Amino acid sequence: MQPETYYAHTLEGDPDPAHWQTLQSHLTAVAEKAAEFGQAFCADDWAYIAGLWHDIGKYRPEFQQRLRDGQTAVEHSGLGGALAMRRNKELGVLLAFAIAGHHTGLANPTSSDTRPPTPLLERIKSNNLLLDPILSLLPPEIYNCDVPSLPDFLRLAETGASTKKMLRHTELWIRFLFSALIDADRLDAEAFNHPERAALRESGPPMAILREQLDGCIEQKVAGLSSDERSHPVNQARADVLAACRQAATEAPGCFSLTVPTGGGKTLSAMSFALRHAEANDLRRVIVVIPYTSIIEQNAGVYRDALGPKNVVEHHSNFDPLKQSNEQGEEVTERHQLACENWDAPVIVTTSVQFFESLFSNRTSQCRKLHNICRSVIILDEVQTVPPAYLLSILDVLNELVSNYGCSVVLSTATPPALSERQRFEEGLHDVRPIISNPGDLATRLKRVEYDWCDPDAPAAEWEDLAAELAAHRQVLTVVHRRDDARSLAKAVDERVEDGSVLHLSALMCPAHRTDVLGRINSMLIANEPCRVVSTQLVEAGVDIDFPVVYRALAGLASIVQAAGRCNREGRLKQGQVVVFRAPTAPPAGTLRTAMTVTESLLREKGKALNPDDVDLFEEYFRAFYFTQAKDARDIQPEREQLNFANVAKKFKMIEDHFSRPVVVPYDGAKEILDKLRRDGPNRDLFRALQRYQVSIHENAFAKLDQAGGLEQVVEGLWTLTPGFERNYDERFGLVVGDEPTADPVALVK
């Protein structure tokens, strides 16, 4: 006998169905919430139907029985997809992708190398057999709905676009439809099962309030400057950048470039543009996308100080919820974690990897936030770091976000890449408007360094000779290609000075360790103490340190200029000195080595007259650089044109992690967190907190450590050094495993 009432969710520990959520109320609530989300990308009617049909499989008697006994898994998410395709075989498949994938993720239509998810048509075929018995059970207001018409921008006849381009447009739109459904479903379930958590969610104040807060913060900073500081050329240039950003903010949404030399005040000026632009155009949030975790905390801290911790959400791998909870309270931390799920916050600060991989993902957790990207100002900081191998797919999606999802995109950089649409590069960004009308003049005004270029064909410098040069400087930063290079050179400089002034930075140090060393560097520089730093390129982009002299191993022009941004940053000297040398080792093969080759070519052509303060030089450099690169190296665009969502997600990995493994190292508070994890078991907050204490090493080094007994698996997939091998983490150089990892015999017998 069928129950008269059908349910969607039970309450944990409460067996009384009178307290459970009815299925019809869940479907209606999800439909209404999804439609609200879908309005931002012309999909409210589609999202409504997706919500209404997503859980009709729960009308199956087998599912209702499962709610009572909890014993048997029952297929339910595919039936709504089967109904959509029965109603309209051609258009219904768009709904079917979202509905059938709302638990397992977006699938390929047919064949797939990645299971789960099962290919969509295979799911639909099996679910068709399950659909007929429940059709008579569906309420008329749920059953008697039709598949809507497509929005105009997805109609081939309306746009005149090529079929392939239209398929890519459709692929992205399905992702956003999927996102609206997932978020609506999760929010409704949360409101029923965890109302205390739902009560913590809030979208934050209007953009106008945040703009006023930022204005007040900037005014306070200016008021704190002396008259001499205000009249300093660097601060005058920064004031002009801010004024240009505020003036451009009233323009209509679109794509903008913000070309400002390093140290020109981009961080706050870009946010000032974004908040004013959002206010003027009724946009919903600001998303700041930063390529490196080494600077994301620094920039997020600036925004938090200006806008308040509740209004700025950091979403990146190095974020430590335990640290935030100690500093800002548990409620702020819990709000933050909830906002990370769907990006419902006024200001999001995230990484390029998080942002772009989410846009090409098929996983529910990553796609859930996509609909909240609509009608946002997206600041792409250090945009020149966009990897060439994914350039076509990234630019295609950025153009779409501007054209059809109500976004504005800001290309923020000191070294503008040649990403604009032009002849022979029709895939570029459309109609990019410069915020700074004369970036060349600004570069001249902010010129703070002289470059001493090496001969591109001269023999490489020896580390010993270079170390002698560096020891002669009281304060100097040197940037090299490789981790081993940084360690070798730092040791060589160490042998020539006895004042403890030599510091080292590389990715063999965990993020918490690097943060502490950067703090020490700044303290030494402020106190005018001797300070000689040897680093890999992780120090280049955006790290707020200021040396009178910088040495940089010959590399890509953009990398050299980024390193130069750590020289005379505040303009206290008439001119800083940047020395470009040829290192004994080459950059890693691939993009970095190609970039160096292009710079060598420019040096041979222009000689010592090569002038990085000439912004036109970067157009020439990047055109040559991109010309040598495969701009869709993983063939992602053809996969998108076939709606192969699972294949796209598998291929779009901005950081290939196949050849490296993370290891938790014994630095600072790592041991305490590991002990808590061993005692209490797996916990998301503990995992997140430990990311600040992890170092990624190559697979072969990981294997050697493991074979030597140097690794312990604390919980599945989480490894740390065993006590006897903790000495392999050096207080200066980080995790140094060498050819044969060695144990401390005393620690082994403790």
**pLDDT for position 508:** 93
Query: Measured between alpha carbons, how far is 673 from 667 in angstroms, rounded to an integer?
Result: 11
pLDDT at 94: 97
Tell me the longest C-alpha to C-alpha distance in the chain. Answer: 90
Rounded to a whole number of angstroms, the distance between the first and last alpha carbons of the chain is 67
Ordered domains of the chain (ranges, CATH): 7-198 (no CATH), 207-444 (3.40.50.300), 448-612 (3.40.50.300), 660-748 (no CATH)
Residue 656, Cβ neighbours under 10 Å: how many?
A: 8
- The predicted model gives 392-419 an average pLDDT of 96
Q: Residue 745's pLDDT band (boundaries 50, 70, 90)?
A: very low
Q: Across residues 348-377, what is the average pLDDT?
A: 96
Position with higher pLDDT, 180 vs 699: 180
Distance (Å, whole) CA 40 – CA 53 = 21
- 450-455-460 Cα angle (round to 5): 110
Burial profile 695-708: b = 16 or more Cβ within 10 angstroms, e = fewer: bbbeeebbebbbeb
- CB count in 10 Å sphere of residue 352: 22
| pLDDT for residue 749 | 37
What average pLDDT does the chain have? 91
Q: What is the pLDDT of residue 206?
A: 94
Dihedral over Cα of 424, 429, 176, 654: its sign: positive
Can you tell me the mean pLDDT for 72-88? 93
> What per-residue confidence (pLDDT) applies to 750?
38
Q: Is the pLDDT of residue 354 over 90?
A: yes
For the segment 630-656, the average pLDDT, to the nearest whole number, is: 93
Q: β-strands 734-735, 475-479: how paired?
A: unpaired
Interval 545-554: pLDDT, tens: 999 999 999 9
More confident residue, 271 or 385: 271
Give the percent of the chain with pLDDT over 90: 72
3-state secondary structure 233-291: HHHHHHHHHHHHHHHHCCCCCCEEEEECCCCCCHHHHHHHHHHHHHHHHCCCEEEEEEC
Q: Report whether pLDDT(748) > 60.
A: no
Q: How far apart are CA 23 and CA 216, in angstroms?
A: 50
Record the tokens describing residue 479, joined without a space: 């940037």
Say what percent of the chain tops pLDDT 70. 94
Note whether 387 and 591 are within 8 A (CB): yes
DSSP codes joined into one string, 315-364? ESTT--HHHHHHHH-HHHHHHHHHHHHH--SSEEEEEHHHHHHHHT---H
When mean pLDDT is compared over 142-156, 198-212, 241-255, the highest value belongs to 241-255
**Average pLDDT in the 448-470 region?**
94
Cis check for the bond before 741: say yes or no (omega within 30 of 0): no
Q: How far apart are CA 738 and CA 729, in angstroms?
A: 11
Please compute the mean of the pLDDT values over residues 147-158 and round it to a whole number.
85
Instruction: Point out the least confidently predicted range of 230-239, 430-439, 475-484, 655-664.
Output: 655-664
Asked whether residue 747 carries a pLDDT value surpassing 60, the answer given is no
Q: What is the mean pLDDT of residues 193-207?
A: 89
**Side chain identity, residue 570:** E
In this predicted model, what pLDDT tens digit does every residue of 601-642 receive, in sequence order? 999 999 888 999 888 899 999 999 998 889 999 999 999 999
Per-residue confidence (pLDDT) for residue 73, from 0 to 100:
82
Cα separation, 397 vs 409, whole angstroms: 11
pLDDT at residue 320 is higher than 60: no
> What's the number of CA atoms in the CB half-sphere (13 Å) around residue 705?
31
Helices 511-526, 293-307: axis angle to 10 degrees equals: 70
**Which pTM value belongs to this model?**
0.91
| pLDDT (tens digit per residue) in 238-276 | 999 999 999 999 999 999 999 998 888 899 999 999 999
C-alpha dihedral, 393 to 276 to 319 to 325, nearest 10°: -150
Peptide bond into 133 cis (omega under 30): no
pLDDT of the residue at 658: 46
Mean pLDDT of 84-88: 95
pLDDT of residue 528 exceeding 90, the answer is: yes
Whether residue 321 has pLDDT greater than 70? no
Residue 313 tokens read as 């959400």
CA pair distance 347, 334, nearest whole angstrom: 16
User: Are 353 and 379 within 8 A, CB to CB?
Assistant: no
